[in-house]
Amino acid sequence: MDSYRIGYGEDAHALAPGRPLVIGALTIDGSPVGTVAHSDGDVLLHALSDALLAAFAMGDIGQYFPPSNPNYRGLDSRVILQTVLQRVADQVGAYRIVNLSAVVVLDQPRLGPTRRDIQRQLAGELGIDASRVGVTFKTSEGMAPDFIQSRVTVLLQTE
């Protein structure tokens, strides 16, 4: 019998000049700031990976990729996501992602022009159609100018 699972995850990183800004596996060209992180600091992929694990009560990415492990320095977050997708499949068998809704909170740079590219990147990583990938951009209204945050909800269907 089909059943549905919902997952929620969130993540935040500090911003600093001279670092790459990667959001949803897309590097934002020309950004004056980027994320301070052990991995590439992709808040959206981290929140999404946690949401996928949370949907099946499988903990969080910190268990699978502890920040204390020097091997994960500069890690491409697509590796984290693909590892999580595989771990979920190992545990629950066949499943599909019905849709996801991702929010990114960032004051600068403005991300509106990158929405389609981020949707396409995420859809490609997940093997789903871009129409199933909602991406919402917000600013902190100046309350958290030195941080980037992301929150992701995902709906999954198992067989």
Binding site for Zn ion (CB under 5 A): 11, 46
Q: How far apart are CA 149 and CA 112, in angstroms?
A: 16
Q: How far is CA 28 from CA 78, 89, 90, 135, in A?
A: 16, 31, 33, 15
Q: Tell the smallest beta-carbon distance from residue 37 to Zn ion (Å).
A: 6
Q: Tell the smallest beta-carbon distance from residue 51 to Zn ion (Å).
A: 13
Give me 23's structure tokens: 């959001």
Q: Which residues pair with 136 in a beta bridge?
A: 103
Report the residue number whose CB is nearest to Zn ion.
46
| Residue with smaller CB distance to Zn ion, 48 or 135 | 48
Give me 77's structure tokens: 């977050």
Q: Tell the smallest beta-carbon distance from residue 46 to Zn ion (Å).
A: 3
| Residue with smaller CB distance to Zn ion, 11 or 107 | 11
For 135, the 3-state DSSP assignment is strand
Report cis status (omega within 30 of 0) of the bond before 70.
no
Q: Tell the smallest beta-carbon distance from residue 2 to Zn ion (Å).
A: 32
| Residue with smaller CB distance to Zn ion, 75 or 123 | 75
Cβ(158)–Cβ(95) below 8 Å = yes
| Residue with smaller CB distance to Zn ion, 122 or 132 | 122
Q: Tell the smallest beta-carbon distance from residue 59 to Zn ion (Å).
A: 15
| Residue with smaller CB distance to Zn ion, 5 or 46 | 46
